[in-house]
């Protein structure tokens, strides 16, 4: 069986808190062995995934702490693709903003936070997935942090100037469909076709 999976936003809470809350409502009443929390790196440039530094023991939040599953972390240390710098975690908000929701909904659960750098082509992504898959069980959850379309001149992405709301909804619908129904190839093709500015797409 596949693990439970959720994609949630990491914009400031005033912008995306309500959307994140709707997503996390799906976790109410559930319990997991551990939660794998993945978010794109905004401050440190590297390839692959970055495990948390050895001195990091927990994520502290106002509603409870999330302990880091060091057994899972150490099992991946040295695995192909998991050599990103631990200091990528220190300034990274894409994971931090999810911690309060996880603690609020699941309580003091354990997490495996992973900061995601550049992943390369589909072949590199599949190799990384093969290295990671044996560590993820059906009683785990996987939470992926991503803000979808960054629209406007400030982001260098304005594929339409009229009916903007409808256009953004169409992009979102196509992106979600590619992820859920088509998998890696479909999502890669969607990005190639639209150049959508989904956070963490690279």
pLDDT tens profile 31-47: 999 999 999 999 999 99
Give the separation between CA 112 and CA 104, rounded to whole angstroms: 17
Indicate the length of the chain as a whole number.
202
Q: How many helices (H) and strands (E) does the chain have?
A: 6, 7
DSSP summary character for residue 190: H
| Alpha carbon distance 201, 197 (integer Å) | 7
Q: What's the pTM value of the predicted model, to 2 decimals?
A: 0.92
Bridge partners, residue 4, by sequence: 141
CA distances, 88 to each of 43, 82, 97 (Å): 7, 12, 15
Residue 50 reports pLDDT greater than 70: yes
**Residue of 130, 115, 102, 122 whose CA lies nearest to 28:** 102
d(CA 71, CA 194): 40
Closest CA to 34 of 68, 63, 76: 68
Mean pLDDT, the chain, rounded, equals: 93
Distance CA 55, CA 67 (A): 12
- Reply yes or no on whether the pLDDT at 1 is more than 80: no
How far apart, in whole angstroms, are the C-alpha atoms of residue 160 and residue 194?
A: 11
Per-residue pLDDT band for 12 (boundaries 50, 70, 90) equals confident
Residue 154 CA to residue 201 CA, distance in Å, equals 18
pLDDT tens for each residue of 68-94: 999 999 999 989 999 999 999 999 999
Q: What is the pLDDT of residues 122-141, one digit of tens each?
A: 999 999 999 999 999 999 99
């Amino acid at each position: 069986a596949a693990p439970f999976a959720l994609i949630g936003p990491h914009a400031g809470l005033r912008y995306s808190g309500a959307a994140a809350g709707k997503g996390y409502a799906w976790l109410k009443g559930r319990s997991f062995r551990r939660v794998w929390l993945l978010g794109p790196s905004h401050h440190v440039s590297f390839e692959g995934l970055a495990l948390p530094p050895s001195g990091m023991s927990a994520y502290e939040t106002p509603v409870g702490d999330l302990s880091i599953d060091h057994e899972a972390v150490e099992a991946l240390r040295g695995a192909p693709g998991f050599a990103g710098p631990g200091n990528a975690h220190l300034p990274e908000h894409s994971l931090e903003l999810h911690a309060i929701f996880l603690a609020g909904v699941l309580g003091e659960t354990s997490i495996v936070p992973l900061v995601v750098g550049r992943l390369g082509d589909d072949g590199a992504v599949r190799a990384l997935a093969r290295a990671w898959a044996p560590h993820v069980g059906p009683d785990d959850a996987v939470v992926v942090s991503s803000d979808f379309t960054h629209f406007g001149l400030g982001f260098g992405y304005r594929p339409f100037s009229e009916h903007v709301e409808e256009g953004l909804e169409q992009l979102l619908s196509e992106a979600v469909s590619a992820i859920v129904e088509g998998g890696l190839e479909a999502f890669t093709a969607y990005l190639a076709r639209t150049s959508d500015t989904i956070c963490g797409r690279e």
